[in-house]
């Protein structure tokens, strides 16, 4: 059963109807969707999730983007789930994300919001510490 990680389909992914396709890829990787719920992220949750980015130029836009519409919040489990899911997600910038990755394959033509935030479909915890911090923000 291995690790657990926090995974989220961001507002752009939900709005474009990509939840099924994205979760099919997650399961195709041998990972398990333990929990899944469609939610509206509150400003408080967004601030907590992105606390490590506080002070960066894109931070205000990031809070606005992630609270701009519904997301699908998930707990994903499996062997090496954190690194495995990050690999499946691809690079932060979809324009450089590799073929075969979620961000690379499913990106739209314009990957930048009006305020400069990168729209990249998905979030995944980047370390065991991040996963332990992020899961309880969305799952009590
Ligand atoms: P990650 O999502 O690949 O872990 P992070 O560096 O943790 O990337 O950044 C969090 C989110 O903030 C990214 O997914 C993206 O939406 C946005 N972001 C990151 N870097 C930039 C940037 O340089 N400009 C605009 N938005 C950014
Ligand atoms: Mg990150």
pLDDT at 131: 98
b/e sequence 8-46, b meaning 16+ C-beta within 10 Å: bbbbbbbeeebbeebbebbeeeebeebeeeeeebeeebb
> How high is the pLDDT of residue 116?
93
Residue of 4, 107, 119, 123 marked catalytic: 123
Place of tokens 């990509």: 18
HSE (CB half, 13 Å, CA atoms) of 113?
19
Probe residue for ligand 1, chosen from 107, 118, 126 as the CB with the greatest number of ligand atoms within 8 Å: 118
Q: Where are the domains of the chain?
A: 3-138
Measured over the CA atoms of residue 60, residue 62, residue 63 and residue 67, the dihedral's sign is positive
53 included as an active-site residue: no
> Residue 105 — pLDDT band, cuts 50, 70, 90?
very high
Query: pTM here?
Result: 0.98
98 CA to centre of ligand 2 in angstroms: 17
Whether 124 and 10 have beta carbons less than 8 Å apart is answered as no
* pLDDT given at position 58: 97
Statement: residue 113 has pLDDT above 70:
yes
Residues with CB under 6 A from ligand 1: 58, 62, 92, 116-118, 120, 123, 126
* CATH number assigned to the domain with residue range 3-138, chosen from the 4 options 3.30.70.141, 3.40.50.720, 3.40.50.10110, 3.30.160.150: 3.30.70.141
User: In a 3-state reduction of DSSP, which class is residue 30?
Assistant: coil
pLDDT at position 1 over 80: no
3 state DSSP class of 76: strand
pLDDT tens sequence across 53-98: 999 999 999 999 999 999 999 999 999 999 999 999 999 999 999 9
* Tens digits of residue pLDDT in 122-137: 999 999 999 999 999 9
Note whether 134 and 6 are within 8 A (CB).
yes
């Amino acid at each position: 059963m291995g690790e657990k990680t926090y995974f989220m389909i961001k507002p752009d992914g939900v709005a474009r109807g990509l939840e099924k396709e994205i979760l099919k890829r997650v399961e195709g990787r041998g990972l398990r969707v333990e929990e899944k719920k469609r939610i509206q992220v509150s400003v408080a949750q967004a601030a907590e999730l992105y606390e490590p980015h506080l002070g960066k130029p894109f931070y205000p836009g990031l809070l606005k983007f992630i609270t701009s519409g519904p997301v699908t919040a998930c707990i994903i489990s499996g062997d090496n789930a954190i690194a495995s899911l990050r690999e499946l997600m691809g690079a932060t910038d979809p324009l450089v994300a590799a073929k075969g990755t979620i961000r690379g394959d499913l990106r739209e033509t314009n990957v930048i919001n009006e305020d400069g935030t990168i729209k990249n479909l998905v979030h995944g915890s980047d370390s065991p510490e991040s996963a332990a911090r992020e899961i309880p923000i969305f799952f009590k």
